[in-house]
Structure 1
Amino acid sequence: SFPSLTVMIIQLAISVSHSVTTGGTYIMIIRLCLTLSVAILGCEGANILVFTPTGSHSHQNTFRPIFRELFRRGHNITYVTSLPDSNAPYHQIVVRDAFMEMLDAVDLFEFGKAGFIEDLMVYLETVDMTGLTLTDPKVQDLITSTDTHFDLVVLESSIFQEVYAAFGHRFQAPTVELLGMCPSFWFLHVTGNPYSFSHTTSYTSFSTNRMDFVGRLKNTFFGLTNIIFTKYFMMPKHEAMARKYFRYPGWEKRPPLEKLMANISLVLQNTNAASHYPHPYNPNVIEISGTQLQEPSKLPQDLQTFLDDAKEGVVYFSLGSVVKGSLMPENVKNVFLSVFGKLPYKVLWKFETDALQNVPKNVKISKWLPQKDLLGHPNIKLFITHGGLASMIEAIYHAVPMVTIPVFFDQVKNALHVNAGGYGVHIDFKNITEESISWAIRTAAQPSYKENAKRQSMILRDNPIKPVDRAVYWIEYVIRYKGAPHLRTPVATMPWYQYHLIDVASVVLLTVVFALYTVYFILRKILLLLLGISNITLNKQKKLN
């Protein structure tokens, strides 16, 4: 195909230029033959739309290695994002991300303290913010274009962004769903994946997969709320947005978004056995956690010196790219500064402004830090984190114990996994004191936590195939088999009463009731008949007497 051949020509040009400059004529001939053979025998390149406008650095960094590898293999990538990739070799369309704009305007530390009803109202607002992204002229040009064709659509649409599922119908192409964290109960439900509130956990869960009665009761309540609230309150808003913003020839015949989600060809989710509990997914769900991981690169010299000189070790503190440490209440900042100043370790703190006062001598502040490379330094003692999944996986990969301070969303679930696995501890943000922080650091610095972190790292690394290669293989599998419908179970399209065998149970119950009633009726008739015969006999005897 043209994209594949283009990539091969570029590779050939590089080979020829290298051979000419080095005088390697024979090497050039060999490379020429190999390149032409790959061009002839290679698989056909596909035209792929990647629509992931969410401005979360952690989500984007997780999936970008997959897009780069797809491009390297000869596929044409159109990447729609709100965070442009400066190193991207493929075509990018930069759009507005109103969802992250809303998060930036929210005090997430206060949001984490909000009540249950307040959370639901915020979730409804996020749906409206998602709709604003669709008003971007570049997105509308993409939707209304009459000469644009894609062989595959790759989306991140499962949480508050279900309206994006309409892209699959717009381009009549198979859909691949990207999950930056564990699936919600709603997503499991709508895609026909098995789940049970007795042990399945989601971002709404506040316990591990081993629950007592109260834990199962809470998990059932929050799980059902997630499914019902999404289906009956959020999805109607998504449907209204789809009708408003997805106008193209044939849009009137578009199936409901729920049905489009049920027909997703492939799910690539950022989960694995080291950071999540085991779960029986359908064959079209592939776990790819660790796509962004690699051995640490060389650090900037100032950081390298700071870490090398820390003979007692370094505590690394970062709350990620969404939760801003600079927005913490002043009393909480002062608690950390007081505790850090008393530690025998050095401290690296990712802090977004220069306004932090009274910083102890052993503490280094930076607005940005190369986290993946930092965690790979042998002198990192432990990692104080918000418990975001990307940060959690990077810490596991480098066997760094954690102190988790979850703020919102799936961070509580992640923190509980860290705590249950013995490779870290967690504290509630509402309970931050000098005593609690000191206890957490002292506990996580114990040798047993390091040993458990090493065990988790071994589990994460023990893979027969690299996560990126696994993801690309299955994406190309879906392309080869035109959506691979043979991987999907019929559960997602079955009525609930069929899935739960309510109709079968009803027939069986009615049959049993009818059979019992029939037996009762017959026995009653027999008994009455016997009693009638007995009465006749008695009456005859009385007359004879």
Structure 2
Amino acid sequence: MAGRVALGLLLISIVALAEGARILTILPSGGKSHDIIATAFGRVLAGAGHDVTVITPYASKKLPKNYREIVLTGLLEKAMEGQGAPNFFDWKGGVIGSSFMLVMMYGMMPGKMYELAMEHPNVVNLLKSDEKFDVVLLESFITEQFYGLAQHFDAHLITFSAFGNSLWTNGLVGCPHPTSHLGHFLLSYTDRMTFWERFINTAFTEFDRIYYNWFYLPTQKKYYDLAFPNAKQSFEQQMKNVSLVFLNTHFTLSSPRPYPPNMIEVGGIQMDDPKPLPKDLKTYLDEATEGVVYFCMGSNIKSKDLPPVKRDAFLKAFGKLKQRVLWKFEDENLPNKPGNVKISPWVPQSDLLAHPNVKLFITHGGNLGTTESLYHGKPMVGIPIFGDQMMNIEKSVRAGYALRLDLDDISEETVGRAVNKVLNDPSYARNAKLVSDRLRDQPMTPRQTVVYWVEYVLRHGGAPQLRSPAMELSYLQYKSLDVYAVMLLLLVVIVATNVFLAKKLYRKVFRKSCPAGGKQKKA
């Protein structure tokens, strides 16, 4: 009888899935690269037959079937009010720069996101509506207050990271993060560190943990309570009620890590079969008999903001190459541009990197760009500026498919030396191709993996069987610090007892062998 009931429930769930689940995702940060990942998840799930609603500040020109956008109109403009466009070349990495960035994000972004997204009329209207959703899919990036959308819509909560795992994702599913070989994502350390790198990595990670738990999360709780005053679950309960965490990384790009079963790698989710290039770009690449060097600093960092001295250094070095250069440059006016350099304000990056004539990618080292470059087997010259870029490039250098070029060291000579080194040493291309083969060798594509696991959560009522029991432990219990404390206490008691007994025995023996007065009687 029980078996028949279980079979009936399974058939009902399959029929429900066949009709498609309703999925809601929101991108409050406004970062274009983050939006690319968020919309990739949405489009993949819509393509699998689910009804997807994406709340985003970026309006798409063409929407696929089963895919709806709620556009946060004016969010980007309001976010930049009184600030002007940031010049990311002014940022400095390292421990001090990373600490400043961390404190700034924790201090400024929660309130800004609440103001710009949670109070946006389109979000308010959605919350007041009678719409229902089965899954809320959210990026884990200073977004904990938005986790309340799951309890508001009585939906399963799934989060994703646009890069690898971090303190923000690990705590959601009880993922261990030993600092002995896993570097903090804001530091430039790989999985092989010296003693002092391990020391700094551990100290920085603990600083992050303390600030995160004592100062940052209480701030997010305040905005959670403001947005969801009648929440069925408290902020603390919702933080523990995450079904899955997707990571936009893969062990071939980073290193093997100890994940619980509900933390899933889907590195390259944004990748698709190469599409035909625009006619002018296709002609430019097809006719490049010596190959093409592609130069792009990402969506946030603008090449046009380079200091003129650095910009001219690139142009002079490029002018001496026999290869053609395609530079994503956001200003149509580029003085002193040599004849072998073509500029474009926008480039279909993954499609371009798939072209066989592209021989080298000069990049800032963002996660999307490095993944796309390695997927297509292209070596790199990395110019990291901030965030996880230093770590990504350092890993690439250690793996032998990239060279690092620091912004402060850029000159005509250093650029020319780095570019020619990677172009003329076949080991860089060979190592990039090796990683590409490994990255592509997966039982399911990242897109198939996302669909499978989201539907798994739907089939199994949130999949509580995946959750680690570590989620029920305090920090002291999780680290067994209470156990070690008792062990230390027992050791102290045992040592003290032995010392006490040894002293007592010594005194007793000494007194027998040496009577009072210390003199023996004469015969």
- For normalisation by structure 1, the TM-score amounts to 0.84
Secondary structure of the residue that 1:463 maps to in structure 2?
coil
Are the structure 2 counterparts of residues 281 and 122 from structure 1 closer, same or farther at C-alpha, using a change threshold of 3 Å? same
Secondary structure of the residue that 2:159 maps to in structure 1?
strand
- Displacement, 1:338? 1.2
Alignment of 1:195-210 (within 5 A): 195-210=177-192
Match of 2:261 among 258, 261, 283: 283
Matched, 1:62 2:30: no
Secondary structure of the residue that 1:455 maps to in structure 2?
helix
Match of 2:70 among 93, 97, 101: 93
Secondary structure of the residue that 2:282 maps to in structure 1?
helix
Aligned length: 500
Residue type at the aligned position of 1:95: L
- Displacement, 1:242? 1.8
Match of 2:148 among 166, 169, 173: 166
Query: Deviations for 1:462-500, whole angstroms, at most 9, x for unmatched residues?
Result: 111111011110111111111111111121331111112
- Displacement, 1:286? 0.5
- Displacement, 1:228? 1.8
Corresponding residue number in structure 1 for 2:108: 125
Secondary structure of the residue that 2:89 maps to in structure 1?
helix
Corresponding residue number in structure 1 for 2:374: 396
- Displacement, 1:296? 2.0
Matched, 1:467 2:446: yes
Residue type at the aligned position of 1:80: I
Residue type at the aligned position of 2:358: I
Matched, 1:136 2:120: yes
**1:245 and 1:386 mapped to 2: Cα distance?**
37
**1:407 and 1:533 mapped to 2: Cα distance?**
78
CA contact (8 A) 2:23 2:136 kept: yes
Match of 1:376 among 337, 354, 363: 354
- Displacement, 1:529? 6.9
**2:100 and 2:258 mapped to 1: Cα distance?**
33
Alignment of 1:40-59 (within 5 A): 43=18, 45-59=20-34
Are the structure 2 counterparts of residues 522 and 203 from structure 1 closer, same or farther at C-alpha, using a change threshold of 3 Å? closer
Corresponding residue number in structure 2 for 1:262: 240
CA contact (8 A) 2:28 2:113 kept: no
Matched, 1:151 2:109: no
**1:238 and 1:40 mapped to 2: Cα distance?**
38
Match of 1:437 among 390, 397, 415: 415
Larger of the two Rg values belongs to structure:
1
Are the structure 2 counterparts of residues 126 and 222 from structure 1 closer, same or farther at C-alpha, using a change threshold of 3 Å? same
Which region of structure 1 is more displaced relative to structure 2, 41-50 or 311-320?
41-50
Residue type at the aligned position of 1:47: R
CA contact (8 A) 2:295 2:327 kept: yes
- Displacement, 1:152? 1.3
Are the structure 2 counterparts of residues 166 and 196 from structure 1 closer, same or farther at C-alpha, using a change threshold of 3 Å? same
- Displacement, 1:450? 0.7
Secondary structure of the residue that 2:318 maps to in structure 1?
helix
Are the structure 2 counterparts of residues 44 and 508 from structure 1 closer, same or farther at C-alpha, using a change threshold of 3 Å? farther
Residue type at the aligned position of 2:136: V
**1:479 and 1:189 mapped to 2: Cα distance?**
22
Match of 1:271 among 230, 249, 268: 249
- Displacement, 1:294? 3.0
**1:502 and 1:113 mapped to 2: Cα distance?**
33
Corresponding residue number in structure 1 for 2:193: 211
Are the structure 2 counterparts of residues 208 and 536 from structure 1 closer, same or farther at C-alpha, using a change threshold of 3 Å? closer
- Displacement, 1:523? 6.3
Query: Deviations for 1:288-342, whole angstroms, at most 9, x for unmatched residues?
Result: 0122223322112211111111111111111111111111112211111111111
Residue type at the aligned position of 2:301: V
**1:130 and 1:42 mapped to 2: Cα distance?**
33
CA contact (8 A) 1:204 1:222 kept: no
Q: What 5-or-longer segments of structure 1 have no aligned partner?
A: 1-38
Corresponding residue number in structure 2 for 1:311: 289
Are the structure 2 counterparts of residues 434 and 92 from structure 1 closer, same or farther at C-alpha, using a change threshold of 3 Å? same
CA contact (8 A) 1:174 1:264 kept: yes
CA contact (8 A) 2:161 2:169 kept: no
- Displacement, 1:240? 2.0
Which region of structure 1 is more displaced relative to structure 2, 302-311 or 120-129?
120-129
Are the structure 2 counterparts of residues 352 and 338 from structure 1 closer, same or farther at C-alpha, using a change threshold of 3 Å? same
Are the structure 2 counterparts of residues 262 and 443 from structure 1 closer, same or farther at C-alpha, using a change threshold of 3 Å? farther
Match of 1:220 among 202, 209, 215: 202
Are the structure 2 counterparts of residues 41 and 194 from structure 1 closer, same or farther at C-alpha, using a change threshold of 3 Å? closer
Match of 2:315 among 337, 341, 344: 337
- Displacement, 1:521? 5.6
Are the structure 2 counterparts of residues 217 and 525 from structure 1 closer, same or farther at C-alpha, using a change threshold of 3 Å? closer
CA contact (8 A) 1:62 1:290 kept: no
Residue type at the aligned position of 2:455: E
Are the structure 2 counterparts of residues 304 and 532 from structure 1 closer, same or farther at C-alpha, using a change threshold of 3 Å? closer
Corresponding residue number in structure 1 for 2:47: 72
- Displacement, 1:364? 0.8
Match of 2:392 among 414, 433, 453: 414
Are the structure 2 counterparts of residues 498 and 286 from structure 1 closer, same or farther at C-alpha, using a change threshold of 3 Å? same
Match of 1:105 among 85, 101, 111: 85
- Displacement, 1:380? 0.7
- Displacement, 1:83? 1.6
Corresponding residue number in structure 2 for 1:504: 483
Residue type at the aligned position of 2:378: V
Secondary structure of the residue that 1:109 maps to in structure 2?
helix
CA contact (8 A) 2:251 2:257 kept: no
Matched, 1:479 2:425: no
Matched, 1:179 2:161: yes
Are the structure 2 counterparts of residues 528 and 49 from structure 1 closer, same or farther at C-alpha, using a change threshold of 3 Å? same
Residue type at the aligned position of 1:368: W
- Displacement, 1:459? 0.8
- Displacement, 1:524? 6.2
Corresponding residue number in structure 1 for 2:10: none
Corresponding residue number in structure 2 for 1:458: 437
CA contact (8 A) 1:384 1:405 kept: yes
- Displacement, 1:271? 0.7
- Displacement, 1:444? 1.2
CA contact (8 A) 1:289 1:467 kept: yes
**1:298 and 1:351 mapped to 2: Cα distance?**
22
Query: Deviations for 1:84-132, whole angstroms, at most 9, x for unmatched residues?
Result: 3323321211115459945973211112369536434532223332222
**1:426 and 1:537 mapped to 2: Cα distance?**
80
**1:215 and 1:537 mapped to 2: Cα distance?**
62
